[in-house]
Amino acid sequence: MTTARPRARRADAERSIARILAAARARLAADPNATTDDIAKAAGVGRMTLYGHFRTRAELVEAAMVDALRAAEEPLAAVDLEGDARTVMERLLESSWELVAESGALLDAAQGVLPAGRLRELHEGPAKRVEELIERGREEGAFRTDLPTVWLVSVVHYILHGAAAERTAGRLRKAEAGPVAVKSVLSVLAA
């Protein structure tokens, strides 16, 4: 009987953490300045419970960002990377567009509390995938070679986040933002 109690507490704690992270992602996506009180309320937990798991807002924002990136990795890992680089880039962008659009405000929140080096570190996986694809496209003659790869990876990132911001601001309709972003990226990369 004594072994069931710690397991039950761990399971309760894990459920509580999952609720807090889901609430943090949702609240920060809606408002990058959402407070820990806003997030605790949305999660249905008290401030003490939230602070029991995340000592600071920065720690909570980082955990929410890590959780969002982890959730995004599954659909991104499922993208078929076979074929010519341009077609693969188009597939990758189409599959990741909604993920980027949803996480734009979360990124804004993270930029407000996390050091730039930590943000780069958290995005290494997705950035590496784009970098390798750009390099492959260069070797195939499909992508430009006159600009540094690191710059082109950043441009892809900026275009996707810019299109998401335009959609959020209502200057691009939801249905057009993704295709606009994909076409813009492909035109920038074209040899």
The pLDDT tens digits of the residues spanning 139-191 come to 999 999 999 999 999 999 899 989 988 988 889 998 899 999 999 999 999 99
Q: 61: which 2 tokens?
A: 């924002």
Nearest to 64 by CA among 120, 19, 12: 19
Output helix, strand, coil percentages for the chain, rounded to the nearest 5.
Answer: 80, 0, 20
More confident residue, 113 or 99: 113
Domain boundaries, position 25: 1-55
**Amino acid (1-letter code) at residue 83:** G
- Give the model's pLDDT for residue 1: 47
Q: 85: which 2 tokens?
A: 């680089």
Print burial letters for 144-157: b (CB count within 10 Å at least 16), e (below 16): eeeeeeeebbebbb
Half-sphere exposure of 54 (CA within 13 A, CB side): 25
Whether residues 21 and 108 fall in one domain: no
- DSSP letters, 29-42, are HH-TT--HHHHHHH
State yes or no: pLDDT of 3 exceeds 60. Answer: no
Final residue belonging to a domain, choices 10, 35, 55: 55
What's 13's domain CATH number?
Answer: 1.10.10
Whether residues 74 and 126 fall in one domain: yes
Whether residues 89 and 49 fall in one domain: no
Question: How many Cβ atoms from other residues are within 10 Å of residue 79's Cβ?
Answer: 14
Nearest to 23 by CA among 35, 11, 12: 35
Mean of all residue pLDDT scores within the chain: 89
Whether residues 88 and 62 fall in one domain: yes
Whether residues 33 and 124 fall in one domain: no
**What pTM does this model have?**
0.77
Tell me which residue has tokens 């894990």. Answer: 14
CA-CA distances (angstroms) from residue 135 to 7, 68, 148?
Answer: 48, 27, 10
Whether residues 51 and 83 fall in one domain: no
Whether residues 94 and 48 fall in one domain: no
Q: What is the mean pLDDT of residues 56-76?
A: 90
Percent of the chain whose predicted confidence (pLDDT) is above 90: 55
**Amino acid (1-letter code) at residue 167:** R
- Give the model's pLDDT for residue 176: 92
Number of domains in the chain: 2
